Structure 1
Amino acid sequence: MTQQTRETRETQETAVPQSAADAPACPPAEPPGLAQGWCALSALHGRIESHIERALQTAHDLSVREFSVLNVLSEQHDGPGGHLRMHQVADSVVLSQSATTRLVTRLEERGLLSRFLCPDDRRGIYTNVTPDGLTLLVEARPTHDGALREALKDAAQRPELAPLVTAVETLAPPE
């Protein structure tokens, strides 16, 4: 085997799919078990997130994580005092503290969030969505929701994902 062939083969074996939508379906398990269900759930999540990510980036220059942070903070935005501490933001969007700090910094640099010291505990930092952040969220929500519906519709066509799509749809409150 030549060096070039070996390198090509190693690259192919260790290559990561470009998106979760490109990832292969879970291998069949006999009998289907917990790992198979987890694999299907992971595939569904990846397909949906990838689809929403592309739609938000294209239309609003916004990532799924950025949208999630704006959304979480907007739900706390009930006038003065509507804010969260950084660790609460991290917990809400399921990111590490350091990843959340970097994400909030990017959004703050874009004027979409603001941070300020907690008046009762000077060690704590609050994060708040700005009016520009709320405006962008309102503009991006239809894109997000439409992409979510499209991704669920597409996933429902795959036999291994259809039961999970049905479960997700039953969790949603009626519109």
Structure 2
Amino acid sequence: MTATDPALTALSQGWCALSLLHGKIEAHIERALQAKHDLSVREYSLLDVLSRQHDGEGGHLQMKQVADAVVLSQSATTRLVTRLEDRGLLLRYLCPTDRRGIYTNVSDAGLELLRAARPTNEAALRESLDTAAENPELAPLVRAVEALRIPA
């Protein structure tokens, strides 16, 4: 393949369109969450991921799993956890079966904020997808996102 190969060009154009769609959606959601709830997209994502933990087998996530879920490095995730813990939205405690392990749970205040922010997140996502669907280059990607049904 060369830089002028039509397949490479199409692939690059598709990647650029996907990146553009992601950027537009994230920026719109960021503005909405910041304005109404003083939350960033990353903070919201972290609260959401951690709120889905449970006490059953494999129910608590290790920091690497959390980092993967919110698409951050482990060190950035640790700093984010610390910031949210300082705001009273998260709690850390030692794993009862392995004293080397530390769990992170969403506090009651964090759950309340997450419940309040969910409709804002959903509305901003819907708005940004509707706007993007008006762009002929982004419309196929919007349809693909809307068609996804990922099992929980």
- Normalized against structure 1, the TM-score is what? 0.76
Given candidates 129, 139, 142, the residue that maps to 1:162 is 139
- Give unpaired runs (5+ residues) of structure 2: none
- Once the 2 structures are TM-superposed, how far is the Cα of residue 77 of structure 1 from its aligned partner? 4.5
Identify the residue that residue 103 of structure 1 maps to in structure 2. 80
Return the alpha-carbon distance in structure 1 between the equivalents of residues 54 and 44 of structure 2: 15
Q: Quickly say closer, same or farther: Cα 1:140–1:78, change in 2 above 3 A.
A: farther
Return the alpha-carbon distance in structure 2 between the equivalents of residues 50 and 78 of structure 1: 34
**Structure with bigger RCO (C-alpha 8 Å, 6+ apart):** 2
| Cα distance per residue 1:117-162 (max 9 Å; x no partner) | 2233322221101111110000000000000000001111111101
1:118 lines up with 2:105 in the alignment: no
1:77–1:83 CA contact under 8 A, matched in 2 = yes
- Normalized against structure 2, the TM-score is what? 0.87
Q: How does 1:1-175 map to 2 (within 5 A)?
A: 30=6, 32-77=9-54, 83-172=60-149
Return the alpha-carbon distance in structure 1 between the equivalents of residues 90 and 59 of structure 2: 12
Q: Quickly say closer, same or farther: Cα 1:120–1:77, change in 2 above 3 A.
A: closer
Q: Percent identity?
A: 72
Q: Which moved more, 1:59-68 or 1:30-39?
A: 30-39
- Give unpaired runs (5+ residues) of structure 1: 1-28
Paired letter, 1:88: Q
- Once the 2 structures are TM-superposed, how far is the Cα of residue 89 of structure 1 from its aligned partner? 1.0
1:84–1:128 CA contact under 8 A, matched in 2 = no
Paired letter, 1:128: N
The alignment covers a number of residue pairs equal to: 144
Q: Which runs of 4+ in 1 moved over 6 A?
A: none
| Cα distance per residue 1:46-71 (max 9 Å; x no partner) | 00000000000000000000000111
Return the alpha-carbon distance in structure 1 between the equivalents of residues 64 and 29 of structure 2: 25
Name the Cα RMSD after superposition: 2.1
Identify the residue that residue 11 of structure 1 maps to in structure 2. none
- Once the 2 structures are TM-superposed, how far is the Cα of residue 78 of structure 1 from its aligned partner? 6.2
Return the alpha-carbon distance in structure 1 between the equivalents of residues 147 and 55 of structure 2: 29
